[in-house]
Structure 1
């Protein structure tokens, strides 16, 4: 991987992609914004939210950044990010019909990877989040996923509860501000509250990520096999060429 993943500090806010800096889908309750008004400065709202969570709870995100620094000496923009927080700090989470988030879980709210990045970066971000959460004694991660069917629905046809949950806020909408349910299932989450469009999923942290452990174990076995095959082959060739007489003499 050509990037390193580090915890997000408030000083790293400017490194986030533009949409991530302006996205307040999870951080602001849309019902608190009058229908005839809009957020004048969503970037300020997002930074204020991050500051509040970091002050009260600690780091609430990870970012992927290229190795080294930009040519001008400034911090390079991140190529991927993942944000999470205790559910009480996420106003939108209270709106979902598949809630509430479990009391022992931290909510994975959003993540993104910039175009052209190496395959597997999103998975590596999840691993970083899991590692950090386990160190803090968190028992599980949960997330509200977006199913493939959700991309085809007409918002006007949603139930009142569903519509309240995913009400658009500025340029924030569930179509690109929620994590795909299929991705979450692929990295080990399981559905704990089913829904045709917005299921709630959970990843227990008292076990390793199975897919990651299996892949790493398989690679290690291949490397071990490669290391062993060469010496064994050379030893057998040596025995054939000149060691047989010594064996017979013994």
Structure 2
């Protein structure tokens, strides 16, 4: 529940909002992070005045964190990028990569385990199961075992660290900032390519790719076993197919960098 005054603070400039720091703004983008879209009446808390909620909704629209499509609102790529960073405790724009362990898990029939995302960016797309590597994890293997137990309640007998990769997702932006010649990174967040098209780093992840074989995981509505050749038939999160292909047909250990466009 958000606890705020119903007084509108007009000192906040709509044109200079870097991140949704006001409690109402943060509430709105957080709500939309778990929905593809939502109506005004579904988002507005009962105890928040309509004019106050409308004001902050307009601030987010003016700053392109959300957009309106007929009678519903949805997160933009900029809003998705904010949610990604906020979920990793880095709400400000940054080129710093989040470090995770991602799992290529196969059963005895060779099927691949994929998980349905329940949060933006990429909500309802299918990804490889993964989890954060923490500062107090002594090794990648121990981190992978901890994540497996936390996620699936099992400790794999054998796991293999088969590769590392950076996955960067870029989204177009209308923001205008001074950029050096050649379109290099600006403050770790903006780049310029193709004769002036501006893009922003929506997310950047360093994945340590782990392979496991098991029949111990039971499928659910958000966790499915699929044939590897059927990956192209479902909506996938960025770089999933490339990572699996590289792990299946690459060297014993690989290092790659994948750059994808936000969808």
TM-score norm. by structure 2 comes to: 0.21
TM-score normalised per structure 1: 0.22
The structure in which a higher percent of residues are strand is 2
Q: From the CA coordinates, give the structure whose radius of gyration is larger.
A: 1
Question: Which structure shows the higher helix fraction?
Answer: 1
